[in-house]
Amino acid sequence: MIRRLTAGTTAAIFALSLAASAVAAGGPPSLAFYVDGARYRTVGTPTDFSGTGAPTSSFDRIYVLGGGLVNVAEARPGDRDYNGGRWMVLPVTWAPGVTPVQLTSAEAIEAYAAAGMLSIASAPVKLFECPVIPVGGHQS
């Protein structure tokens, strides 16, 4: 049975995952997501671009894997298509019988989706902005 999360529940889970990461890391900036196998930290900001009419093309995706797994983003500073830290949060729903695993790239998430192992929400649950800081202070 696939359980669907409401937008509010998924946004709360995302916020809690950022807060839990901050505590585990000893405070901000916290481990927030992977991009192409590299770990990135961030500091949460109170921005909310919902209802602004900004085109979805002006945001990069963050996939929420759930279950205590670290989120995955599709772009980072230095990528040609990076949108400067503007994010749309898309929850992932794992298919029945599939054990969630830590994926570390948008390509892996898309491959799992193509194989029917997970589905990606079609509408974002949150639109916001936050900085992207490579773990260790340099990009991989």
pLDDT, residue 137, reads 56
Question: Mean pLDDT, consecutive 10-residue segments, the chain of 140 residues?
Answer: 51 48 46 89 84 89 94 92 92 97 97 98 91 71
pLDDT, residue 7, reads 52
The token pair at 73 is: 């983003």
SS (H, E, C) 76-111: CCCCCCCCCCEEEEEEEEECCCCCCCCCCCHHHHHH
Using DSSP's 3-state secondary structure scheme, residue 35 falls into strand
pLDDT, residue 14, reads 52
What are the extents of the domains in the chain?
7-134
CA distance 38 to 15: 21
pLDDT, residue 133, reads 87
pLDDT, residue 50, reads 86
pTM of the model: 0.75
pLDDT, residue 48, reads 86
Indicate left, alpha or beta for 137 from its phi (over 0: left) and psi (-120 to 50: alpha).
left
